[in-house]
Structure 1
């Protein structure tokens, strides 16, 4: 057998361990320092958008127009006297705060029980959330003087302030919880403190290095604000898993009586190779996001590829160097009550015995369970979730949003018509805007609270048009279609016009995703199939990998739709059904799950192939491979489920959907798929598992087992006195 790349990397690192360890530390420190100095650049609205709304946002960006952070205060009273007394006080309080423009003339509802006071925050809108507290305190003081009147504030600045206060704490808690969780699970897996710490340290340093490099990359490709959180999610999951598999194999070989060098060499040649194949598969799956045609996914692709690549490099270089340095001291800090005798595992014997005895029934039952779970996915509805869907309903911010929407439909989140002309002040353009305003005000599609606002810029104007409805319901959708039908006729002859806003953005996103989902799926499926084919020289193995992973993804989709779209069991995860799945999640979850599912598949099937290459019959090789990897797969899956579940506890609906969806999918993949479907399918196929057509015989024959030890140096030939010459 020829030595594989992982074996060579592991051997070099073990021989030059100080160079490998110091090189890794210098790389991490340099990446962190450089990233901190250059800072991360974020996506603009124009870069994030697509379609007609995306063109509108790009016009605003190009014109350099900065819309101020707008705020509004709703005054509601059951009595006319209370209403008349409180409204002037609110106006005075807003003016006296010194942080806002003068409030505009209040809007009054038809029943004259509600008034809406609108104003803008002064200064940079990006930092308005930091300056809104004095305004909130002034409004709160008025509320205290008028307890019989409901006075509530909502807007860009107060929303940003809430997000900074709440979500900042959410993410900090998630990041601080995920690492100790992973460490705790590894403590149980290895029953030794140092063995548990090593994988976590490598995974965390891989994330830190990747995050630093991401900041550098962001100056050429701007990133969404959640890219770093996604990177942490992926980096911790795969980084710990790769080290865990590698370390478990090295400890297993030592327990079998191998010397330190041989155990490390075998771990490098087997688990190290699997890490490379698995990491390459994950990165290829992530690369599928480049086919979406959307910068958000391009950023996610770069972020995840970076962290997986660095985690793989750490696993096959610095980890063997550390293991060579520490030797058996890696089990320093043993925890006696967690130590247990190594065995094949009664639990997995109990699971595998009926599966391998009746593989047909087992496969049918497991596939049936996954198909039932996947069934709700047939009715999946996606949209760019609005703030009222993203944030829990019992949040005061959302209750205020609902009250404003009920009294003044569309007021909190209007559509925007963006106009670009050679001269925005030309009489023809002004006349068109005035006629459009008049038509909008007279149309019930746009609600009672119609108030257009024009921000003048260089050849650009923006007209805000509130839509009737609650923001994403059928009424709002119809209003948006009506608006988009009106705009070309109103401005087609005098200005370039596009419709933007949250609902328009959501519709355009969905249209773009529907067009890009097929090329993304085709790329990921095709390249993954080829990688499996090359790695295992088997058509059935490659095809089985695709089918099993599709079942896992389908089940994850079904669970997400059932819980978050329909609300079935939503209270169990602290949320409620919001009628839709976040638009970017199905594509993202597909590529992530397809990549991560290959972790287990590659490790398990590699172990099965290793046994088969030693001459073990396929049926026994399947049982041996599953049993020998069961402990590592269980620990790895538990870590992934725990990390993803932590993100499922965040307040934002999209991260909750992502965390729960990924956690459920990994749990199903590590249990139903790898413990039941995979062994039963391979048992049914028997020797046909290794079928490869003759016309594919040119594929490389890669080693799945340990590499032969180098032969000892030849002994010097004996020297006899007669050979010494005269």
Structure 2
């Protein structure tokens, strides 16, 4: 099938390129004109208690915590009367009027209104105050537009000695879009130039990836009309697409250039490359897609949206690598080595000599190689045992960010816990005892360790004739502190049940905790599904039961190492200043599941690339030792370049402001680096040397399984076409 597809692309090269150009331009235009808006809201999940409590508040007219921010005022001690100063009061009231005029649904609570309210508060020393700001919208874009208008009108606030700031994620400073992507692309181009030595060869993988990402990201934006996706989904799809797209094109282009160097004409070289590297790319792309699709087991918002984002990026660049790249190669032909960079090698040579020598050393001492790799990975894995899921707070942001300023002012005026209050929501039928029970509960909470203050019962509204009342509990510790989470569990598990009231808790801290627990509950199912599907795919790809088991174990070890690094940086604070993390805190709850799916799939890429070559040489020579040596040498340059590109692309995530994307990028970069070094250079050659012919064990009772292992041409390292793998093999997979 790949031969036919490649041949068709070569014969109709200009039509293929023209079709891709038309597709990219059309998709971008359609996305710009009719694209949907992202909706970022992990709190509104009715599978969790916090989500149900939030829904009750909304139904009762109490407002949604997801739509609320705070306007924070910090008054200098030199201002007489503090927040009650007449000039200050006039400016605050004027600000409220201007904000209210921006949009009918945008509301700023009256800071000076009398009566009990959860929407305003003034510190005991009258120097810090806040009022709730409600910014309702149906999408992130609408909300961002309103936020910018509010920020603009806030510049007119002119009260001497008063600092105005905003608390709420929507008001956080955000780096200009495209900075991270541009840095990743720039680094990738440098690596491609070093790998190929010519501008033309280096530009083809980048061009292929950009075409694929342009289509994939645009389709994702259009699908946002019918599927809710968070604001970082498009960035994730783009960065993932760029990384794997360049890698896939890099592998095919390397085999094409090798075939040209061996004397093949251009069409033959393209067919050879597609028959070998192209088949490996198909299985690699399928493995990544299956791993990402494992996110569907998470359900809710995160499952389908992250699956859609990941698959949109990967599948689009996969199709581009299999259709657009052959067409471009047919057009470029032998000019692929034009525009050489002085001082760099422009044609394939003996670049695998060093890798070959290294492989021989490792294979002479395979048990030492395995032990060394396990020690390295084991040390990196240790911090992962301290993994704590949650969501970071504004205290992690730069000190110049308005949300960080508000965070610090609120902590100074009301205590650290004021940045993440807990809301206890009760939907109560008409019963005269309920008032006494609520008062008793409030009194008990007020004497509980870790509680700074408890509000009196506050009426929110009614639902189905039942009164909705809530208590606001302010912890003594900040939202992302472990002590706050312990308090949540104590209130929920011990205090609330004894009250005899139907109370559910919500709030930022509670929502993060519930989301993390739900994620962990579904993680075993996700892992089982991904591992099972990956095993089946690799078993079919290599017609071996040993190779997929070995690959899965190795990939889990490299994943564990990446989790360890994330914990060391984000929770322990090792080197956090280098990537712009303000302070230690929990690992973002969505990161581990997305990281597992993506990194596991990407790690399988390198397994497929390397073992494919080893399998080719084994079928040709029948020697399990030399096949490993030659396979490692043949793939060393391309896999090293591919891994370096992946590391750079994913490491560029640290330039995003979002703490979760920083952790995601760091974890992916570490996983790829570890897999391309410790795993590929130590574990793979060592274990394959120890196992020998047993690597290709395929029991006779499975011979009925249809062959799909034609991905490995048995030609030489230049990519000459040869018989398909498995042809003439016995049940153990060895050549006759």
On the 8 A contact 1:385/1:583 being kept in 2, the answer is no
**Does residue 447 of the first structure (1) align with residue 452 of the second (2)?**
yes
CA contact (8 A) 1:386 1:471 kept: yes
Q: Which residue of 1 aligns with 2:52?
A: 55
SS of alignment partner, residue 343 of structure 2: helix
- Greater shift, 100-109 or 455-464, is seen at 455-464
> 1:39 aligned to 2:45?
no
User: Deviation of residue 431 (structure 1)?
Assistant: 5.1
Instruction: Give the distance between the partners of 2:642 and 2:436, measured in 1 at CA.
Output: 63
Question: Is the contact made by 2:292 and 2:311 (CA closer than 8 Å) also made in structure 1?
Answer: yes
Q: Do the aligned residues in 1 keep the contact of 2:619 with 2:714 (CA within 8 Å)? A: no
CA change 1:45–1:676 in 2 (3 A) is: closer
Query: Is 1:620 aligned to residue 623 of structure 2?
Result: no
Tell me the SS of whatever aligns to 1:467.
strand
Tell me the distance in 1 between the aligned counterparts of 2:421 and 2:721: 71
- Check 1:107–1:587 CA distance in 2 against 1; reply closer, same or farther (3 A cut): closer
Question: Structure 1's 235 and 219: CA in aligned 2 closer, same or farther, altered over 3 A?
Answer: same
Q: 1:457 to 1:392 in 2, by over 3 A?
A: farther
Shift of 1:336: 2.9
Give 5+ residue unaligned stretches, structure 1: 712-726
TM-score (norm 1): 0.86
Matched, 1:115 2:128: yes
Does 1:90 pair with 2:88?
yes
Partner of 1:471: 479
Q: How big is the shift at 1:114?
A: 3.6
In structure 2, the residue matched to 1:73 is: 72
What CA distance in whole angstroms lies between the structure 2 residues aligned with 1:17 and 1:429?
A: 80
Q: Deviations over 1:264-305 (max 9, x none)?
A: 111010000001000000001011111123321321111111
Mark the CA change 1:62 to 1:463 in structure 2 (over 3 Å): closer, same or farther: closer
Counterparts of 2:675 and 2:298 in 1: how far apart (Å)? 26
Contact 2:392 2:585 in 1 (8 A): no
**CA distance in structure 2 between the partners assigned to 1:131 and 1:71 by the alignment:** 15
Q: Which deviates more, 569-578 or 7-16?
A: 569-578
**How many Å separate the matches in 1 of 2:691 and 2:683?**
12
Note if 1:301 corresponds to 2:314: no
User: Alpha carbons of 1:350 and 1:82: their partners in 2 closer, same or farther (altered >3 Å)?
Assistant: farther
Which whole-Å CA distance do the structure 2 matches of 1:401 and 1:151 have between them?
13
Aligned to 1:24: 20
Tell me which residue corresponds to 1:318.
324
- The residue aligned with 1:103 is 111
Give the 3 Å change call, closer, same or farther, for CA 327–591 of structure 1 in structure 2. Answer: same
Of the candidates 389, 407, 417, which is equivalent to residue 401 of structure 1?
Answer: 407
8 A Cα contact 2:36 2:223, kept in partner = no
User: Are 2:378 and 1:371 aligned?
Assistant: yes
Structure 1 pair 436/33, CA: closer, same or farther in 2 (3 Å)? farther
Partner of 2:283: 277
Matches within 5 A, 1:503-518: 503-518=509-524
| Contact 2:389–2:588 (Cα < 8 Å) also in 1 | yes
Contact preservation (8 Å) 1:50, 1:505: no
Partner Cα distance (1:482, 1:365) in 2: 44
Q: Is it true that 1:155 corresponds to 2:154 in the alignment? A: no
Structure 1 residue 416 corresponds to structure 2 residue 423 = yes
Partner of 2:117: none
Query: Residues 18 and 458 from structure 1, CA distance in 2 versus in 1: closer, same or farther, beyond 3 angstroms?
Result: farther
Q: Which residue of 1 aligns with 2:666?
A: 660
Higher helix share: 1
Cα-Cα RMSD: 3.2
Does the C-alpha gap of structure 1 residues 255 and 417 become closer, same or farther in structure 2, counting only changes over 3 Å? Answer: same
Aligned to 2:4: 8
**Which deviates the most, 689-698 or 70-79?**
70-79
TM-score (norm 2): 0.85
Q: Displacement, 1:22?
A: 2.6
Partner Cα separation in structure 2 for residue 46 and residue 115 of structure 1: 28
Task: Give the conservation status (yes or no) of the 8 Å contact 2:82–2:127.
Answer: no
Other structure's SS at 1:472 match: coil
Deviations 1:568-601 (A, max 9, x none): 3334444365142111111211111110011111
Contact 1:440–1:446 under 8 Å retained in 2: no
In 2 relative to 1, CA 123–697 (structure 1 residues): closer, same or farther, beyond 3 Å?
closer
**For 1:358, which of 344, 365, 374 is the aligned residue?**
365
Inter-CA distance 324–475: structure 2 relative to 1 (3 Å threshold): closer
Q: Using the TM superposition, give the Cα deviation of residue 400 of structure 1 relative to its aligned residue in structure 2, in angstroms.
A: 3.5
TM-fit CA distance, 1:34: 3.4
Q: Residues 34 and 462 of structure 1: is their aligned pair in 2 closer, same or farther, counting only changes over 3 Å?
A: farther
Aligned length: 686
1:20-73 C-alpha deviation (Å, 9 max, x unpaired): 223333333333333331423525456556410122334456678754644233
The residue number in structure 1 matching 2:645 is: 639
Gaps of 5+ in 2: 100-107, 114-119, 724-736
Match of 1:130 among 123, 144, 148: 148
Tell me by how many angstroms 1:348 deviates. 1.9
Q: Which digits, 9 at most, give the CA deviation of each residue in 1:482-510, with x for residues without a partner?
A: 55466677784xxx653211111112112
Structure 2 counterparts to residues 603-618 of structure 1, below 5 A: 603-618=609-624
Separation in 2, partners of 1:308, 1:122: 35
1:286 aligns with: 292
Kindly tell me: are residues 464 and 385 of structure 1, through their superposed partners in 2, closer, same or farther at Cα, counting changes over 3 Å? farther
Structure-1 separation of matches of 2:643 and 2:398: 29
Q: Give the drift of 1:203.
A: 1.1
Cα deviation for residue 413 of structure 1 reads 2.9
CA gap of 1:706–1:348, structure 2 versus 1, over 3 A, is: closer
- Alpha-carbon distance in structure 2 between the residues aligned to 1:85 and 1:218: 44
Report the secondary structure of 1:232's partner residue: helix
Distance 1:58-1:31 versus aligned 2 partners, 3 A rule: farther
* Rounded Cα–Cα distance in structure 1 between residues aligned with 2:402 and 2:38: 32
**Which residue is 1:718 aligned to?**
none
Query: What's the counterpart of residue 719 of structure 1?
Result: none
Contact 2:128 2:409 in 1 (8 A): no
Question: Measured at CA, do residues 46 and 421 of structure 1 come closer, stay the same or move farther in structure 2, by a change above 3 Å?
Answer: farther
The partner residue of 2:571 within 554, 565, 570 is: 565
The offset of 1:382, in angstroms, is 1.4
CA deviations on 1:512-564 (whole Å, 9 max, x unpaired) are 12211111111111111111111111122111111111111111111111222
Deviations 1:122-165 (A, max 9, x none): 876934422333554355x32xx33xxx7453323xx523x3xx
User: Does residue 1:388 correspond to 2:365, yes or no?
Assistant: no
> Structure 1: how far apart are the matches of 2:295 and 2:462?
36
2:155 aligned counterpart, secondary structure:
helix
After superposition, the Cα gap between the structure-2 partners of 1:85 and 1:183, relative to the gap in structure 1 and judged at 3 Å, is closer
Return closer, same or farther for 1:624/1:122 CA change in 2, 3 Å cut-off.
closer
CA separation in 1, counterparts of 2:332 and 2:469?
A: 65
Structure 2: distance between partners of 1:252 and 1:690: 27
Q: CA 1:462–1:12 in structure 2 vs 1: closer, same or farther (change >3 Å)?
A: farther
State which of 223, 234, 248 in structure 2 corresponds to 1:228.
234
8 Å CA contact retained: 2:559, 2:599:
yes
Deviation at 1:183, TM superposition (A): 1.9
Shift of 1:218: 2.9
Moved more, 662-671 or 468-477: 468-477
Please state whether the residue corresponding to 1:447 is helix, strand or coil: strand
